[in-house]
């Protein structure tokens, strides 16, 4: 059974409710229909029922709950909740009502905060910033979390590296140029996400264009410092660096470039030095190796809200919904 099939089976065992606010997008509706058909999760669609049904022609969404922000009896409670959460920022009942009824992303996140949904998936037609802004404002970060970050689960076909071709690439979706402390936090969070989703021991490589001092540059120094901080903060997790990519995942290269290491050549969690590297890395792997790319999956928000690539397919959305459900079950 492949990675996403295993995730789907786990989601079915403990069904959660996922809210989908982007109901003007056909791919989102197709994904909802597949999720309901396979009984992976319960689905809430946000929007006007007539418009959703018109957009869903040919799809069976009879088991989905459709919530219209303008007419739901829960609106008053959501307004009160939003005012309470954002009163320090000057939120008024009028402004809360306007936000909830005009921005379905805010409405969806508020549903999660209220406990009426367990998680949210969006981003097929919205930028990452628009998806995560209300999440951070309303749900905030999980206890003990220093930084919210985003990763991709990469499943590479016919690949002997990583966990049978499965990796986490992080941060590949959110933090532009993390400093050493932030990179260390990303490493810790990503290891825990790998353990949760893949179910195998995480082996974390801090990536660079240098392996163990082979190059000198301030960018290398950052990764060296991040590795030191990560080892101190997470002594129970296998973490090492700085490694070039081949030294991190190819056993023969790891043995040559970092002899004596029990991590070099065995990594399954790859921590990129900045967002440029992480984003380019995942897209290269997706397109050239024909890998499945699930994400960007967020880690560190108090309840799971996950972003989508705007180039995603309906099947991609199904995968992210299933991952979100598994995250919610562990919350």
Check whether 47 has a pLDDT greater than 80: yes
* Tokens of residue 22, six digits: 């982007």
Q: How far apart are CA 296 and CA 273, in angstroms?
A: 17
* Least confident range of 1-15, 52-66, 132-146, 215-229: 132-146
CA distances from 115 to 77, 139, 199, 283 (A): 12, 11, 27, 35
Q: What's the pTM? A: 0.89
3-state secondary structure of 309: coil
The structure tokens listed for 37 are: 């058909």
Per-residue pLDDT at 67: 95
Contact (CB, 8 A) for 207 and 270: yes
- Scored b (16 or more CB within 10 A) or e, 299-313 reads bbbbbbbbbbbeebe
Q: How confident is the model at residue 145 (pLDDT cuts 50, 70, 90)?
A: confident
pLDDT at 144: 80
Judged against a pLDDT cut of 90, whether residue 20 lies above it is answered with yes
Q: What is the pLDDT of residue 115?
A: 94
CA distance 316 to 331: 23
- Which range (2-11, 136-145, 301-310) has the least confidence? 136-145
293: confidence class by pLDDT, cuts 50, 70, 90: confident
The overall average pLDDT reported for the chain is 93
Give the pLDDT score at 132.
87
> How far, in Å, CA of 67 to CA of 49, rounded?
8
């Amino acid at each position: 059974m492949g990675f996403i099939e295993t995730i789907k089976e786990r989601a079915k065992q403990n069904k959660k409710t996922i809210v989908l606010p982007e109901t003007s997008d056909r791919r989102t509706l197709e994904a909802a229909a597949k999720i309901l058909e396979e009984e992976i999760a319960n689905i809430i669609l946000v929007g006007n029922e007539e418009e959703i049904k018109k957009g869903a022609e040919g799809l069976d969404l009879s088991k989905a709950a459709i919530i219209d922000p303008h007419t739901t009896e829960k609106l008053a409670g959501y307004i009160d909740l939003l005012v309470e959460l954002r009163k320090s920022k000057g939120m008024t009942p009028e402004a809360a009502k306007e936000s909830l009824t005009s921005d379905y992303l805010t409405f969806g996140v508020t549903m999660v905060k209220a406990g009426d949904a367990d998680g949210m998936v969006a981003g097929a037609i919205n930028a990452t910033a628009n998806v995560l802004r209300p999440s951070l404002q309303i749900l905030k970060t999980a206890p003990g979390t220093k930084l919210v970050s985003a990763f991709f689960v990469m499943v590479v076909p016919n690949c002997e590296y990583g966990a049978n071709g499965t990796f986490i690439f992080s941060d590949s979706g959110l933090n532009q140029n993390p400093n050493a402390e932030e990179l260390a936090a990303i490493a810790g969070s990503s290891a825990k996400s790998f353990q949760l989703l893949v179910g195998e021991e995480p082996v974390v490589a801090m990536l660079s264009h240098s392996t163990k001092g082979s190059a000198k540059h301030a960018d290398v120094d950052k990764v060296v410092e991040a590795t030191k901080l990560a080892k101190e903060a997470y002594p129970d997790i296998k973490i090492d660096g700085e490694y070039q990519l081949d030294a991190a995942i190819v056993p023969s290269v790891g043995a040559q470039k970092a002899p004596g290491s029990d991590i070099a050549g065995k990594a399954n969690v790859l921590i990129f030095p900045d967002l440029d590297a992480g984003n380019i890395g995942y897209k290269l792997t997706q397109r050239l190796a024909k890998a499945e790319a699930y994400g960007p999956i967020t880690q560190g928000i108090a309840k799971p809200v996950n972003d989508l690539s705007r180039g995603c397919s309906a099947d991609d959305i199904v995968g992210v919904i299933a991952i979100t459900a598994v995250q919610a079950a562990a919350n």
